[in-house]
A and B are shown apart, each in its own frame.
Chain A
Amino acid sequence: MMAVNWRALLQENRDLFFNIHNEEIKEGKGYLGAAANAEKVESVKEQVFEYYISDVNARLIYEKNA
């Protein structure tokens, strides 16, 4: 069972083993312990920036008021 040479395997497959993505960690944390119903709130970025202080508009308003 322990015949795999992990050191060699790790060197060959560094990307597979160690390039963990944020989403994988988030998903994994969701499997720890009791189940939770979490309603994720939409980022304010979309609401605030997209509607009336998009980056361009924000700068225009800022310059107007400065």
Chain B
Amino acid sequence: MGHEFIGQLAKNMKNVEYDRVIYNSKNYIGNRNHVWQIDNKKYTPEDVAEKILSVAKANVERFYGERVDGAVITVPASFNHDQIESTKNAAKSAGFLEDRLIFISEPTAALLDLIYEEKLSDKRNTIHDFSKPKKVLVFDLGGGTCDVSIMNVEINGDDYKVEELAISPHTQLGGVDFDICGVLYLLHKYSILNDIDHKRMPHHVDVKRYIFSVLSLEIEKARIMFSSLSSGLTGEGYGDVVYRNSLENFYTGQSFEFEISKKEYDECIKPLLTKGGNLGFNIIDPIIDTLNKANLGKEDIDEVFLVGGMTAYSTVREAIENFFGKKTISYLDPMYSVAKGAALYNYYNENKKKIEKGKIIIYPVVAENIYLDVKNNLPVLLVSQGTKAPYEKVHEGIVKVDNATGIKLDILSGKSIYDPKMKRLKSVQLTFTDIIKPGTPISIKVTFDKNRILHLEAWVTGNFKQRIDVTFDKEVLYDGC
């Protein structure tokens, strides 16, 4: 068994130890059914998060020469309470103290960085004026997720107020999907050059793992080259940029010499950038969904702010600009603005404790409607999307006892009770210590804390002292899509 490497070191090993590298673990956090196995050792997404946070903690402690026990952790805006709670558990296991953990959404953090940079710059050089309230849509396209948030931003003197208005559903679409489109295209090319159908190549999983890993690295390199060489060359008539390489011992001892141009690659990724098509997912759908949730049209958005590594690619940026019919903001480093925003939030949060002036107030919202599946009837809406956290509400007599010792209920999330994509998030077990007569109504109190984590309390309606044990089922039902 070898050493474990985190971060850039692990990324560098994608080529040589392709079957021992864990990709996109953040996409699966909150799902305990997803387990990677390397050398008979099992890793859950929470284990991976713990290792990443441990390394980050150790690096900061080494740099400052002092112990660090608190953190501002950014998560995708669309993370549900299970995903946030799982991230919190990972942070606790990494040695952070629970009461010193703050979770803010990634788009909000990036926006804080933007506002701060604008404020720092000389008034004459300010490009985007935030002195009046503005509606900003933050589009965050990272390695594995596509996150859209609409926020109302207001700056009052030294105080920043960021109110989240609507958040997109959790959308698993990111750089890795753009890579695979290119990989499949290169495999088609290989089939033609070698007169062999790549779909009929021997299906040994290790060979496929090697082929997909090396080709996805090549596509990533090509995209970086396209980004750096084609900047400024836009419009129909511009010349093409071509990436060429040769892979020794690619398949059955033979090499694969190939080329891919930017125009070819852009054609490959078109289904991911265009509404409709046969993929069933693209970057435009979550934007439309979030605008609908906020009851806004695209013309109501004052600024569109791009975040995440994939938005640095010009074709992605152009697709968003074409949709909105206006220029986007993307002049900051999209890779680091989230981390800088988190640091700023911490600075202002600490400042708030000392002096009155100069604070950041964030109003986070619940991303999706949350329902309680009351048996033999329609699911009951517990919390509607857009509800600001922290939040609490008592639902009197929401469910009736049908079994004398306990009830198992499901928590669902979706756009409406008719949503065909409604997901079951988790099961809740209500356990009665004393037998309760069937037909007795039960009241439930729902709480979303400031970190958007869901808590439930239950009691017999009309008798607050007759409390009922509430346990969330360990069996995780969230399917991570």
Contact = CB atoms under 8 A, between A and B. Distances in A.
A31 B212 contact: yes
10 contacts: A6-B189, A6-B264, A10-B264, A22-B281, A33-B23, A37-B34, A38-B34, A43-B479, A48-B373, A65-B378
A29 B213 contact: no
Contacts, number: 134
Nearest to A16: B188
Given A4-B192, A22-B281, A35 B257 contact: no
Nearest to B425: A44
A58 B379 CA distance: 10
B36 A34 contact: yes
Contacts of A36: 28, 34-37
Interface string B161-204: 00000000000000011001101110011001100000000000
B56 interface: no
B421 interface: yes
Nearest to A6: B264
B278 interface: yes
B93 to A, nearest CB: 20
A9 interface: yes
Nearest to B144: A29
Contact of A58 (B14, B257, B417): B417
Greatest chain A CB density within 10 A among B21, B183, B205, B478 is at: B183
A48 B421 CA distance: 11
Contacts of A4: 192-193
Interface string A8-32: 0110000011111110110011011
A5 to B, nearest CB: 11
Contact of B270 (A18, A21, A49, A65): A18
B431 to A, nearest CB: 23
Contacts of A29: 176-177, 180
**Which applies to chain B's interface (DSSP): helix, strand, loop or mixed?**
mixed
Contact of B216 (A21, A32, A47, A53): A32
Contact of B181 (A20, A39, A43, A61): A20
A40 B325 CA distance: 39
B101 interface: no
B21 to A, nearest CB: 5
A33 B21 contact: yes
A31 B214 CA distance: 11
A25 B279 contact: yes
B22 to A, nearest CB: 5
Given A28-B184, A53-B417, 5 more contacts: A28-B180, A33-B19, A38-B35, A41-B33, A48-B412
B36 A41 contact: no
Nearest to A44: B424
A33 B35 contact: no
A23 B176 CA distance: 14
A61 B377 contact: yes
Given A18-B268, A22-B278, A24-B184, A48 B422 contact: yes
B420 interface: yes
B69 to A, nearest CB: 31
A32 B213 contact: yes
A32 B412 contact: no
A32 B176 contact: yes
Contacts of A34: 19-23, 36-38
Contacts of B19: 33-35
Contacts of A58: 378, 417-418
Nearest to A53: B378
A33 B38 CA distance: 10
A45 B421 contact: yes
A61 to B, nearest CB: 6
B208 interface: yes
Interface string B318-359: 000000000000000000000000000000000000000000
A49 B37 contact: no
A13 to B, nearest CB: 8
B209 interface: yes
A28 B183 contact: yes
Contacts of B398: none
A58 B414 CA distance: 15
A3 B209 CA distance: 29
Contacts of A44: 412, 422-424
Interface string B249-278: 000000001010100100110110000001
Contact of B177 (A1, A25, A40, A62): A25
Greatest chain A CB density within 10 A among B14, B257, B417 is at: B417
Nearest to B255: A1
Contacts of A16: 188
A33 B267 CA distance: 26
A47 B183 CA distance: 36
